[in-house]
């Protein structure tokens, strides 16, 4: 061996070693995320055109605006949310998981445009994006969340992310799930089910990482932080209630949407290891919507039609127990 080959220097940059895992949940999450990979282009949204043409205009407007709202939230999460969470990672494998999460959030944001380009005219699409970019309630929740991303503590950023992924998305998810439960707009809804499956992993993983840090706080610090957390959720819910009334009053679905939202707010708190805030349970949610969530994908031919069976193998959604610490 030459003298040059024996030269060593202080480490400037470390290689990631997946054979030396500090937190086994990182490896488990990476495998779950990669096995669930999908792309919107494989879902034949055009097969929904017959259903779309039969929908009343008010419902079409509600459907499109719900998806426009989801586009804004996924844009926020893909551009800023996952990026800032990487900066507070405990392990290099956690950074890798957030890289994956960030990419899939971009896939989610793009998938809504695939639906728009299939169902809506160019003029309608321009009006939808103008609406979401100027809607007071959409901009308010984006501002609340993003300000925490910009200046919050590492734990506050994780809370904001979990509230976004496991709660705020669901006022928009309600619409396609309702149609799916009634066997309508099934391909657009299949995209939403693929997104929900991803968000389930994201929310539980980030919630788990939050709990690691939260458990390191003193009892007094935990109490103070918990007060902040519930105050934030109240603030977000108050805005979300106004948004839901604007979007759903005209079709008469508002009360059901808010029940669904409160149920998922409790799920977000559970991901964070906290007690539920609202009395709503799965039994209170419209069974048609719950049926939409539980509906299995059709056995689509892989080369013609792909639903939530678009997997590299059978994949179960992650459960809260997967992240018990």
Which residue among the candidates 112, 170, 174, 205 is catalytic per the annotation?
A: 112
- Cα(231)–Cα(227) distance, rounded to whole angstroms? 6
DSSP 71-99: HHHHHHIIIIIHHHHHTT-SSHHHHHHHH
Say which residue the tokens 């728009």 belong to: 116
Torsion 38-49-254-69 (CA) sign: positive
In angstroms, the first-to-last Cα distance of the chain is 48
DSSP 14: P
Q: Is 149 a catalytic residue?
A: no
Nearest to 277 by CA among 320, 232, 242: 232
- Cα(79)–Cα(58) distance, rounded to whole angstroms? 32
Pure H helices in the chain: 24-35, 49-54, 57-76, 82-86, 92-119, 122-134, 136-151, 154-163, 170-181, 186-214, 219-248, 254-271, 287-294
Positions marked active-site: 112
């Amino acid at each position: 061996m030459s003298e040059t080959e024996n030269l060593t220097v202080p480490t400037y940059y470390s290689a990631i070693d997946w054979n030396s895992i500090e937190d086994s949940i990182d490896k488990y999450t990476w495998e779950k995320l990669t096995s669930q990979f999908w792309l919107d282009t494989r879902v034949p949204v055009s097969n929904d055109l017959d259903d779309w043409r039969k929908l009343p205009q008010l419902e079409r407007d509600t459907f499109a605006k719900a998806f426009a709202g989801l586009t804004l939230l996924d844009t926020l999460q893909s551009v800023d949310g996952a990026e800032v969470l990487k900066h507070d990672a405990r392990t290099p494998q956690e950074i890798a998981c957030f890289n994956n999460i960030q990419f899939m959030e971009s896939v989610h944001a793009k998938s809504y445009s695939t639906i728009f380009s299939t169902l809506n005219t160019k003029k309608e699409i321009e009006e939808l994006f103008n609406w979401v970019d100027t809607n007071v309630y959409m901009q308010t929740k984006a501002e609340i969340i993003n300000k925490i991303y910009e200046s919050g503590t590492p734990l506050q950023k994780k809370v904001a992310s979990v509230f976004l992924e496991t709660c705020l998305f669901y006022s928009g998810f309600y619409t396609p799930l309702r149609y799916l439960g009634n066997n309508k707009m099934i391909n657009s809804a299949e995209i939403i089910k693929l997104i929900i499956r991803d968000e389930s992993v994201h929310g539980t993983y980030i919630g788990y990482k939050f709990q690691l840090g939260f458990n390191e706080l003193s009892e007094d610090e935990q109490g103070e932080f918990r007060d902040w957390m519930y105050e934030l959720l109240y603030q977000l819910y108050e805005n979300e209630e106004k948004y839901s009334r604007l979007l759903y009053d005209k079709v008469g679905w508002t009360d059901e949407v808010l029940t669904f939202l409160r149920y998922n707010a409790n799920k977000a708190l559970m991901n964070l290891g906290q007690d539920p805030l609202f009395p709503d349970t799965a039994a209170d949610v419209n069974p048609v919507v719950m049926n939409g969530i539980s509906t299995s994908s059709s056995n689509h031919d892989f080369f013609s039609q792909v639903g939530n069976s678009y997997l590299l193998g059978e994949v179960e959604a992650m459960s809260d127990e997967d992240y018990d610490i």
